[in-house]
Amino acid sequence: MPAAPLALVPLPRQVERTEGESFVLAASTAVVTGGSPAEIALGVLAAEMLTQVVGGPVGLRHEEVPGDLAGDVVLRATGGAAGQVGPDRMPQDEAYTLVADERGVLVEAAGTDGLARGLSTLQQLLVTGPGQVSVPAVRITDRPVHGWRGLSMDVARSFFSPSELRRVIELMADYKLNVLHLHLTDDQGWRIEVPSRPELTERSSQCAGDGGRGGFLTGEEYRALVDFAAARGIRVIPELDMPGHVNAAQHAVPELNVDGRPTEVYTGMEVGFSRLTADLPATEPFVRDVIGDLADLTVGEYLHIGGDEALRMAKDEYVRCVEMAARAAREQGKKVVGWQEIVAAPLEPGTVVQYWDTRQDPAPLVSAARQGVRLLMSPADRTYLDMHYYQGFPLGQDWAGLVTLRDSYDWEPTTLMAGLPPEAVIGVEAAVFTEKIHTLDQLTRMLLPRLAAVAEVAWTPVEQRDLVDFTTRLAAHGPAWTAAGHTWEPVPGVAWPAS
């Protein structure tokens, strides 16, 4: 009998259907991990996931060195990358192998990040049949192309709560994404508690863009979110957007304004009107305070300092502001990420520049990359998942055009710009801005299915990617999203099973 096709997204490097029989999960099946806290934490996630699918309790055991298969799901860390989380890890840190046959399932990786990726694969391999759950006999060897596979989430135009953000993190983990970039501040609201400047959230957190929700994350909520993500091999990178997109700060901190008076709350959709003023005495202390406090909250090596669309600023003042923010971040031991406009400033090698505006000539980015900055690829016409799927779509916007499933799938980050050294590409990030996306249902409807497409672009070598093959594998994910309670968009071109 021909084996049923596997619906794995992103497509692994090597998938071999082996001779053995499927593994049928039994009442005695347990998850077995090594004894470190990180391995046990991942084991708990694995056991919870399997419990859900099986509909009965799946236990958890830990052993010094998880041994041979005896009807269990074994997660074995072989050492070398334990506890490694973050975009600077190498793709081999997330490499894993997964072997399944009638004796059980063995997932092996250097550390828990790779095991987490293997666990996402295992979840997609589970076959729920009449009265039983099984895993087909396979041998999978897998690793990502890019070490940074992100989602940028705007919580400033419309706030999303910690429990909603946890749902987003779970979805990211399903598709092996590893960076959640939180756009925490903008003209419409300030969403993160800053101990040195409590007025920011006191005065500017309850407002939002039209139709959006206000709110903010306390430091404690933020740290808990970072931990929740880390347990799934996902790093949170916070963004404080400046020197443009700062109306919420100017509303809360009057000294940031030339006339010393607070600006009005802003709920519209215009961009580029607000700005810091480099020479005001309050500006540099503000920048240092907010970046210092964010650095304290940040376990990862990167801080995003924004830098986009400061449209009412002369270039030299813009450059001074970017340098001010970059210096403040570096003094806290952080590496800098910024939107593509920051290439106007002299940048340290290793700075990450996020490409987004496909309307601009990319030549300055290419020359910055030749001088040592690294590019994070978020071309709006491919990866901005707040763009409409089709004309007249009720959610999101269309300034970068329509973004169909094919658009978000059919591109290659390393050859997007002529003359770009491929090794300058640090990775790929999808983005979702929330001027016209206000609830979790609306959000997931924009993400699904396109987030899966961007995830495969970031994970799978271009030679292995094929749109028809992708849509065939993707079809089975629709019912899984429905079962998980996610709203999604049944775009044309995919044979979604009737449900």
Residues 257-296 that bind ligand TNX (CB under 6 A): 271
Q: How far apart are CA 123 and CA 8, in angstroms?
A: 10
CB of residue 398 to ligand TNX, shortest distance in Å: 9
309 binds ligand TNX (CB under 6 A): yes
Q: Supply the minimum distance, in Å, between the C-beta of residue 238 and ligand TNX.
A: 15
Q: What Å distances lie between residue 498 and 206, 294, 449, 451, CA to CA?
A: 42, 47, 16, 22
Contact between 397 and ligand TNX by CB under 6 A: the answer reads yes
- Nearer Cβ to ligand TNX, position 39 or 309? 309
Helix (H, G, I), strand (E, B), or coil: what is residue 288? Answer: helix
Among 308, 381, 407, 456, binds ligand TNX (CB under 6 A): 308
| Rounded-to-integer distance, Cα 412 and Cα 456, Å | 11
Binding status of residue 339 toward ligand TNX by CB under 6 A: yes
Residue 362: strand, helix, or coil = coil
159 binds ligand TNX (CB under 6 A): no
Comparing CA positions, the residue from 473, 436, 424 lying closest to residue 452 is 473
Report the alpha-carbon distance of residue 110 to residue 79 in Å, rounded. 5
Between 276 and 476, name the residue whose CB sits nearer to ligand TNX: 276
* Residue placing its CB nearer to ligand TNX in the complex, 108 or 435: 435
Q: How far is the CB of 459 from ligand TNX (least distance, A)?
A: 23
Member of 239, 386, 407, 429 binding ligand TNX (CB under 6 A): 386
From the number of C-beta atoms within 10 Å of its C-beta (0-12, 13-18, 19+), residue 31 rates as buried
Task: Return d(Cα 131, Cα 54) in angstroms, integer.
Answer: 9
Q: How far is the CB of 306 from ligand TNX (least distance, A)?
A: 8
Residues 430-469 that bind ligand TNX (CB under 6 A): 433, 435
Q: Is 94 in the site for ligand TNX (CB under 6 A)?
A: no
Length of the chain: 499
Which residue type, as a one-letter code, is found at position 438?
A: H
Closest separation in Å from C-beta 188 to ligand TNX = 10
Residue 308 CB, shortest distance to ligand TNX, in Å, is: 3
Q: Is 63 a catalytic residue?
A: no
Six-digit token string for 176: 């092996």
Q: ∠ CA(153), CA(157), CA(160), 5° rounding?
A: 55
List the catalytic residue out of 39, 239, 309, 456.
309
In 298-418, which residue ranges form alpha helices assigned H by DSSP? Answer: 315-331, 363-370, 380-383, 405-409
Could you say which residues in the range 349-368 bind ligand TNX, by CB under 6 A? 356
Q: In what order do the strands lie in the sheet with 132-135?
A: 23-24, 132-135, 127-129
If one asks whether residue 148 binds ligand TNX (CB under 6 A), the answer comes out as no
Task: Report, as residue numbers or ranges, the catalytic residues.
Answer: 309
* Contact residues for ligand TNX, defined by CB under 6 A: 271, 308-309, 339, 356, 384, 386, 397, 433, 435
